[in-house]
């Protein structure tokens, strides 16, 4: 969940007006349908999904902050997935406009429609619709655990440390999280594997996952210090904390946001007296960390949703998600990549307004 200057802090128009109360009605619907999967001894298995997303809203009130009303984020092409836009249309007051694809500096895909934002007025009805086919390659499980265990922190290239592990305004690191990560790091030596395992294990033991939707709504979005202090966090809260801990000790890390295909999954949210409606089918939204390990490269670390997870229920609608096999099962991709936020503030903003971008929760026992 970086954005170019024109899309700074992921403030696309429907995010802003949802937050400012300038919407009379907003309907967000997204769906993902699995159509086929293929595989052979000589080629990696692939899966094909059909994704559609529809935003419809009526503008009521202040229109001065609608500069990105003609843009919507879509799934990008990436190493493990190929995306084909089958249909895209933007409709303003019954007039249809064409869309074109642009990429920001982090590779996030933005669909921009060719109507000028200033034609949107109070009482305008705007619809942005996207239908795409996503071809997903099977997860590459060839990461060598032996190589992970041999990789030393001192081998991390300085250029990556400066970009993905420094204490900058883009990703500020507090003294609290710095002290925590350094204290844990001193106990486990200098291999990247040991450090990643230590941080992951600490989150397993100390950060409860909110199983119930009501609990997730109650705690709201959190910065790493808030997750640390409350001891509760969902997938992006946990990933943000893990990424921040990695950056403290010099392990390059960033967040990815995506969707987990789940054919039987459905979610619906109705807020603000029916003025905001969000529906999702077949896809559960998720977040995980990416970390750089010398000799291996960039690998995922998912602290929430992984194979072999043991869910220990606790009071108050909470649970603890633990891995009997340690770090190893957490190094597999489980979702389709949607976005890569450039900084902590952007990710926090996107989570606050996630419904308007289709980033609903979608969590079932250790997911989301």
Q: Give CA–CA dist 304/61, Å, rounded.
A: 40
**Residue 40, phi then psi, degrees to nearest 5:** -155, 170
**How far, rounded to the nearest angstrom, does the alpha carbon of residue 158 sit from its chain's CA centroid?**
26
CB 332 within 8 A of CB 302: yes
The pLDDT, as a whole number, for residue 38 is 45
Q: What is the largest CA-CA distance in the chain?
A: 63
Q: Give CA–CA dist 270/226, Å, rounded.
A: 27
Q: Burial, 298: exposed, middle or buried (Cβ in 10 Å; 0-12, 13-18, 19+)?
A: middle
Classify each residue of 32-56 as buried b or exposed e, where b means 16 or more C-beta atoms within 10 Å of its C-beta.
beeeeeeeeeeeeebbebebbbbbb
**Residue 228, phi then psi, degrees to nearest 5:** -60, -45
Counting Cα atoms < 13 Å in the Cβ hemisphere of 295 gives 16
Residue of 206, 233, 207, 197 whose CA lies nearest to 329: 197
**pTM for this structure?**
0.81
CB 52 within 8 A of CB 283: no
Q: Give CA–CA dist 360/351, Å, rounded.
A: 9
Pairing outcome for strands 46-59 and 23-38? antiparallel
Phi-psi region of 9 (alpha: psi -120 to 50; beta: other; left: phi over 0): left
Helix or strand or coil: residue 320?
Answer: strand
CB 304 within 8 A of CB 368: yes
Break the chain into its structural domains and give their ranges.
Answer: 5-137, 145-264+282-357
Angstrom CA distances, 242 to 59, 78, 99, 155, 202, stand at 39, 23, 37, 21, 9
**Pair of tokens at residue 310:** 């043991």
The pLDDT, as a whole number, for residue 196 is 96
Pairing outcome for strands 23-38 and 276-293? parallel
pLDDT in tens, 4-17: 333 333 333 333 33
Which residues, given as ranges, of the chain have pLDDT below 50?
Answer: 1-24, 36-43, 349-367
Class of domain 145-264+282-357: alpha beta
**Pair of tokens at residue 106:** 């982090």
The pLDDT, as a whole number, for residue 33 is 74
Give residues with Cβ within 8 angstroms of 98, minimum separation 6.
Answer: 88, 89, 90, 113, 114
The pLDDT, as a whole number, for residue 141 is 55
């Amino acid at each position: 969940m970086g954005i170019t200057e024109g899309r700074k802090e992921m403030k696309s128009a429907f995010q802003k007006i949802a937050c400012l109360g300038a919407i009379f009605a907003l309907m967000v619907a997204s769906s993902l349908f699995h159509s086929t999967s293929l595989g052979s001894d000589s080629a990696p298995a692939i899966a094909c999904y059909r994704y559609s997303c529809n935003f419809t809203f009526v503008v009521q009130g202040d229109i001065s902050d609608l500069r990105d009303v003609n843009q919507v984020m879509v799934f990008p092409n990436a190493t493990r997935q190929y995306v084909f836009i089958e249909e895209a249309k933007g409709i303003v007051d019954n007039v249809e406009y064409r869309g074109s694809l642009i990429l920001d500096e982090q590779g996030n895909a933005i669909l921009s429609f060719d109507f000028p934002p200033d034609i949107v007025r109070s009482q305008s009805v705007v619809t942005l619709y996207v239908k795409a086919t996503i071809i997903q390659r099977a997860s590459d499980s060839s990461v060598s655990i032996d190589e992970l265990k041999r990789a030393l922190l001192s081998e991390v290239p300085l250029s990556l440390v400066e970009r993905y592990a420094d204490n900058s305004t883009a990703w500020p690191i507090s003294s609290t999280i710095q002290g925590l990560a350094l204290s844990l790091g001193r106990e486990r030596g200098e291999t990247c594997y040991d450090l990643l395992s230590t941080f992951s294990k600490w989150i397993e033991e100390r950060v409860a996952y909110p199983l119930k939707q009501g609990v997730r709504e109650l705690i709201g979005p959190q910065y790493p210090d808030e997750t640390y202090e409350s001891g509760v966090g969902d997938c992006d809260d946990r990933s943000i904390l893990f990424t921040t801990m990695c950056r403290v000790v010099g392990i390059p890390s960033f967040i990815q946001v995506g969707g987990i295909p789940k054919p039987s999954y459905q979610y619906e949210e109705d807020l603000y007296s029916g003025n905001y409606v969000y529906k999702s089918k077949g896809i559960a939204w998720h977040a995980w960390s990416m970390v750089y390990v010398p000799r291996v490269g960039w690998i995922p670390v998912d602290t929430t949703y992984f194979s072999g997870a043991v869910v220990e229920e606790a009071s108050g609608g909470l649970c603890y998600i633990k891995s009997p096999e340690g770090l190893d099962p957490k190094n597999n991709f489980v979702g389709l990549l949607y976005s890569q936020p450039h900084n902590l503030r952007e990710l926090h903003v996107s989570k606050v307004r996630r419904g308007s971008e289709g980033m609903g929760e979608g969590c079932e026992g250790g997911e989301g």
